[in-house]
Amino acid sequence: MWNCSSCGGTGVYTGLCEGPGQGVVCKTCKGSGAIENKPSYKPKEFTGLVRRSDIERVYVGNGTLIFFGAGPKGAGVSYEEFFNGKMPS
Ligand SMILES: [Zn+2]
């Protein structure tokens, strides 16, 4: 397994539309932080979710529209909950 190249192995993606301290579950790795295919850019072996210090709350991304400014949806979970394996719904 390799660190997800989209989120850097953190499982959380932050785009332009989330507010400060907010992230959404990475679409590529579904929040696991790991991918099976070796990324072409700076491959790094996955040794566990990489912790971020700038995220307080994690949300479900609003489909593929997240990249176009749709923003997060739902109540989300705290970053601690997410880091411990809980996914927002
Ligand atoms: Zn990812």
Q: Which two tokens stand for residue 34?
A: 């790991």
Q: How many domains does the chain have?
A: 1
Average pLDDT over residues 75-85: 94
Residue 14's pLDDT band, with cuts at 50, 70 and 90, is confident
The verdict on residue 89 lying in a domain is: no
> How many angstroms is it from 29 CA to the middle of ligand 1?
4
The verdict on residue 88 lying in a domain is: no
Asked if the model's pLDDT at residue 9 lies above 90, the reply is yes
Write the DSSP symbol of residue 27: T
> How many angstroms is it from 13 CA to the middle of ligand 1?
7
> How many angstroms is it from 69 CA to the middle of ligand 1?
19
Asked if the model's pLDDT at residue 84 lies above 70, the reply is yes
> Are the C-beta atoms of residues 50 and 3 closer than 8 Å to each other?
yes
pLDDT the model gives residue 43: 92
Domain span at 55: 2-83
pLDDT (tens digit per residue) in 21-65: 999 999 899 999 999 999 888 899 999 999 999 999 998 876 554
